[in-house]
Structures are given as C-alpha cells and as structure tokens.
Amino acid sequence: MRKLFILFAFCCLTFTVVAENKAKIEVPLRFDRYYTYDDVVEALKLLHTTFPELTKLDVVGKSEEGREIYALTINNAKTGEALSKPGVYVDGNIHGNEIQAGEVCLYFANMLLTKYGENDKITKVVDKNVYYIIPVVNVDGRYHFFKDAQTSSSDRSFRIPKDDDRDGLVDEDGPDDLDGDGNICMMRIKDPLGDYKTDPEDSRLMIPVKPGEKGEWTLLGSEGIDNDNDGKINEDGEGYFDGNRNWGYDWQPTYVQGGAGNFPLCALGIKAIAAYIHQRPNIIVNFAFHNSGGMWLRAPSIKSELVDPKDVAVYDLIGKNALKMTPGYVYQPSYDLYDTHGDTDSHMFNLEGSYTFVGELFMRSQETYRENVNKPVVPPAETESSQGRRGGNPEESREQIKFNDYLGLNELYKEWKPFKHPTYGDIEIGGWVKMSSRLPHPFMLPELVHRNAMVVLYAAEQTPEISMEIFDVKEIGKNLHQVRVRLKNAKGLPTMSFKSISTRLYTQDMLKVTGAKVVASGKITDLRNNKISYQEHKPETIYTSVPSYGFAEYQFLVEGKGEIKVNYSSRKAGNLAKTVKF
C-alpha cells in the first residue's frame, strides 16, 4: 500500500512538473516563443473568450488527419454587420514548417483586440473593417513540425500520402532521427574524392574543394536508413503535396506544376478555406504569409499574364510602403521569383477580386555578427562566384555559426558526432537543426511579427472610405429635376479592382434612384461644360466603381415631385443612402 501511495505521489509530481514546464498562454499573447498547433488553438479560443463582443471563432474545416482549422473573425457589430464592411483576410503557415507565418497572424489579431479602445489608429480600423484571420492553414504540418524530428525545410506538405518510388507503398522511407535528438540533420562520410573539405577557420564547417584539390568529405543527405530495403535511402518520405499549388485559378497537373495534387482544391483544408473565402465576398485585400526570403510578392504568378497598370498602381501603394516598414525586403511580381500555378495570390486576385500579397518573412542575412551590418559580409563579386555551388558562401556560413555561438545560445547548430550507419558504416551526423535556418531565433521574433503585422494594418487603413454627396438639385423643366451625385473615395484601394471590372467577375457597384421615374442618367464627364455621357437603358441604375483617392460624378433626370432615395451599394465598400426632396 505504501509503495502504491509513493508511486501515485510520484506520478502526480511528474504531471505537475510537466504542466508547470508548459508556458502558460495569457492575453495579451507573448511573441518571444513559438506556438505549437495546440497552443495556437488555445490562443485563439482565449482571444475569443476575452473579447466576445468583437470576435467570432469558426471551425472552417478539418484536415486529412482530422485536425480543426480555425478562423477568427474580428468585427465591431456596433458599427455594422461583417459583410457590410470591407474585408481584410490574413492567413499563414500553408507550408507546415513555416511556423513564424502563423505567429504574424496571431500577433495581428492580438494587436487589434488588445489595443482596441486604447489606440486611436487601431480603434478606427477595427470599427471600419472586418478581419478574417486563419493563422494555420496546414494544421497537420504545423503539428508534426513540432512533434516529430524534422529539418528546417521538411514537413511542408499536406498529409496526402504518395508513392514516390512506385513500389506500391506510401511514405515508407523518409528521413530517420538516427541519434534521437529530435532533429533531422545531415550525414557525412570521410572521402578523399569528396566535394568538400573541413573549413580551416572553423572545423565545424565544410567548404567546397577547388578543381584539382583533394577532398575530405562527401555529404550523404539527411539522416536516414533504407527502411524498405530497396537499396535507396530517404526516397519515399512524406508524400509531397503543396497546398500553395492546389488553388482553383490556373491549376496545372503535376507534370506541369510539381506538388499540385490530383485536381484543384483536392486537399480538404484548401477546399474548406476556399469555400470560407467565397462566402465572404467583401474581402478586398488579403495577405498570405510564408517564411523565408524577405519578400512582398504580388500578382501575377506567371510572366505571360498581364496586370492592368491601374491595378499595379494600387499594388505599388501598399508594396512600396511595405518596403519602408520591413528593411531589406524586396517587392516584386510573384513570377520574378519563379512561375507558379494554382497559388493563393492568383486565386484571390483573379477569382475573388482581392488585392493579394504574399509575405515571405525571415531573411537569414539578418543573422549578423559583424561591426557594420550594412556592409556585405563578402564583396559582391565573390558572392556571385559562389552562387549555385553546394555549401553556399563560406564567409556567410562562418558568420552564421558565430551568430549561433554568440547570439543563438548554441541552439541552432549541432556539432558533428560519429555514428555507425547500417549501410554506410562510419559516418558523422551534424549541422543545422530544425529550429534554425528558415526560422528566426525567438529573440528576433517580436520585431519580425510587429513589422509585418503593421504592413497589414497599413493596407487595412487603405480600404475604401466612400462618401456620397448630392451636390446639385434643381428644376430644369416642367416637372423635371436634375440630381447630381458625387461618390468620393478618401483611401487608396478602389472599390473594385480593374481586373474584376474588365472580366465582369461580379456585379459592379450600383448607384440607384427609387421613389420617382428616372428618365435619363449618365456619368458627368465634364462638369464645368455640362457634358454627360448618358446610358441607353435602365436609367434608374448606374453601374460604377470609385477609384483610389478619387471620385465619380453622375447625373439623374427625375420626373415628378416628392421624395426620392439615392442608394449606393458595393460588394467590397459597403452601402450608403440619402434622401432628396423636391
């Protein structure tokens, strides 16, 4: 009995220690750490319960492994229903390993909610817009990135099995954590004919050998063994399926676009999120966050597809401002990186009429250890000469490992250790661990999430603000009145993209007069010279849009006396109404 009591007490103590070791999640959220999938869910639920009057928490759908995909809606119902306002959509972590993308989304939500009512800028944009935020698109990927041994670049895929080596089995021979340290690092073997030698300045690193120079090491790839006994190692890992190649617009089969899947929206999560977005046609600007490179990418995704210069000007308004807020980033069309098909940004711009940006977050060049951070670590000529060679630039590697030593608490790099491999024999395992390379060290995270979230906030400030003015009402004949209406947009996003107008993606904004017979109407092309471009049919309704920082003027000729109502309605810019009495 005494032994049972001691065992029970030990188990209780162990549970307490484990529970206490888990960082407590509180509002306001902290961003000096990374959140697991379960942490993200807990954080979203906590934000919702803390701010119930401003939030709604929805389960958009479930993943292939049954995990729930959550969307947080932020809207002040006192200033209007969600669908009556411009919508700002933000998501991240469509690739499982891109976890800091989810942190930007969480930070943005946390900032809007915790500063509402205290900060005038935040209060104004929350009252003005509705926000739809999905921090984690690839919920299975994020879960397994934390739980399983990974490299910094692995576990990107959605969990859709694939027979990579065509042996009738799926995902049976992926990397293995041979030394049990929770990471998938690199394997190397001594080889006088190898492509690498030990860096004379730091024995942990390797540098490429020059032509005619004796080698010392051959890289064998990621940790792993031949799990299926076919003479190959790591050839059938997690079935590669790229969620950012599975959207509806310009989807192409896998022989054209790798990772695209069997058909558009075949991934459960992508299909559910696409439906969620389509049910919110007020979305006018959106951000999809990824994890590496320091870039702001805009449509189009293929070079052969053109974007109207007027839409480019709108993109530039946000993109060029974003460069000033995120030093070192570049802003460019997505195809400048490479052509892609079936991606989020093209889908949103072409099928949902939303100005869309992809934010590639972290730049490894920020891992600095030198006096002048503005001076390149090596001359440009040397950098160019090393491009394309495995091993990268030796000077950059030396600086990064010093960053690990002096700023990263030696947590980013694993020293090479001997290992007896069943196939290769005596090898060594080491190199960069999974929480490195494509991820900022947690001490760098607060600035990264803030700067990028502020770009989203700037875009939110630029959603349309439409005012309607009845600026001229007069009798011009017996029982006939002239009514002139001016629509003005005080902000940088137009009420419709020019792409949406040209392709007739959806019904344009409407300016409509009710309450009396309208005999003629049209756009005022020259107010001072009284020139009107009259339309031929249905004069009571004018289809229109309002440009960024611009206005549009219209004239109605109304028969009779009494009261008329002038209504303006827009899918993405809200509704307005005014009454005129004769």
Residue 441 placed within a domain: no
Is it the case that residue 390 has pLDDT exceeding 80?
no
Percentage above 70 pLDDT, the chain: 93
Judgement on whether residues 336 and 405 belong to the same structural domain of the protein = no
Judgement on whether residues 334 and 475 belong to the same structural domain of the protein = no
Q: Which of 19-33, 243-257, 369-383 has the lowest mean pLDDT?
A: 369-383
CA separation for the pair 359, 458 (Å, rounded): 14
Instruction: Please compute the mean of the pLDDT values over residues 318-338 and round it to a whole number.
Output: 96
Judgement on whether residues 527 and 472 belong to the same structural domain of the protein = yes
Instruction: State which of 352, 385, 400 marks the end of a domain.
Output: 352
The pLDDT of residue 164 is: 79
144-195 pLDDT, tens digit per residue, is 999 999 999 988 999 888 877 788 888 888 899 999 999 999 999 999 999 9
Contact 213, 180 (CB under 8 A): no
- Tell me the three state secondary structure of residue 468: strand
112-129 pLDDT, tens digit per residue, is 999 999 999 999 999 999
Residue 264 placed within a domain: yes
Residue 443 placed within a domain: no
Residue 215 placed within a domain: yes
Residue 41 placed within a domain: yes
Judgement on whether residues 229 and 251 belong to the same structural domain of the protein = no
CA separation for the pair 573, 494 (Å, rounded): 9
Tokens of 184: 């998938």
* Residue reference for tokens 């900060």: 119
DSSP secondary structure letters along 152-164? TT---S-S----T
The pLDDT of residue 392 is: 62
62-83 pLDDT, tens digit per residue, is 999 999 999 999 999 999 999 9
Q: Tell me the residue range of the domain where 234 lies.
A: 163-238+366-432
Residue 156's nearest CA partner among 290, 61, 340 is 290
Judgement on whether residues 486 and 398 belong to the same structural domain of the protein = no
Residue 548 placed within a domain: yes
Which CATH number does the domain housing residue 507 bear? 2.60.40.10
Is it the case that residue 235 has pLDDT exceeding 90?
no
Residue 23 placed within a domain: yes
Q: Domain count of the chain?
A: 3
The Cβ of residue 454 has, within 10 Å, a number of other Cβ atoms equal to 16
H or E element, residue 3: helix 2-21
**β-pair partners for 475:** 481
Judgement on whether residues 254 and 225 belong to the same structural domain of the protein = no
Contact 155, 96 (CB under 8 A): yes
Helices in 298-444 by DSSP H: which ranges? Answer: 309-325, 344-351, 380-386, 394-406
Contacts 24+ apart (CB under 8 A), 548-552: 548/313, 548/314, 548/317, 548/462, 548/489, 548/491, 548/492, 548/493, 548/494, 549/489, 549/490, 549/491, 549/492, 550/488, 550/489, 550/494, 551/486, 551/487, 551/488, 551/489, 552/486, 552/487, 552/523
515-541 pLDDT, tens digit per residue, is 999 999 999 999 999 999 999 999 999
The pLDDT of residue 171 is: 81
The pLDDT of residue 378 is: 62
2-61 pLDDT, tens digit per residue, is 343 334 343 443 333 333 346 799 999 999 999 999 999 999 999 999 999 999 999 999
The pLDDT of residue 169 is: 82
Instruction: State which of 307, 326, 352 marks the end of a domain.
Output: 352
**β-pair partners for 197:** 207
Residue 542 placed within a domain: yes
Judgement on whether residues 227 and 249 belong to the same structural domain of the protein = no
* Residue reference for tokens 């005014």: 578
Give the pTM.
0.92
H or E element, residue 107: helix 99-115
Please report, for residues 369, 386, 440, the alpha-carbon distance to residue 377 in angstroms, rounded to integers and kept in the order given. 9, 13, 19
Judgement on whether residues 132 and 51 belong to the same structural domain of the protein = yes
CA separation for the pair 208, 69 (Å, rounded): 44
Instruction: State which of 288, 321, 352 marks the end of a domain.
Output: 352
Judgement on whether residues 257 and 403 belong to the same structural domain of the protein = no
Judgement on whether residues 186 and 230 belong to the same structural domain of the protein = yes
Angle at 245 between CA 291 and CA 458, to 5 degrees: 45
Instruction: Please compute the mean of the pLDDT values over residues 195-200 and round it to a whole number.
Output: 96
The pLDDT of residue 523 is: 97
Judgement on whether residues 111 and 252 belong to the same structural domain of the protein = yes
447-463 pLDDT, tens digit per residue, is 999 999 999 999 999 99
Instruction: Please compute the mean of the pLDDT values over residues 202-225 and round it to a whole number.
Output: 95
Judgement on whether residues 227 and 94 belong to the same structural domain of the protein = no
503-516 pLDDT, tens digit per residue, is 999 999 999 999 99
Which CATH number does the domain housing residue 269 bear? 3.40.630.10
User: What average pLDDT does the chain have?
Assistant: 92
CA separation for the pair 12, 9 (Å, rounded): 5
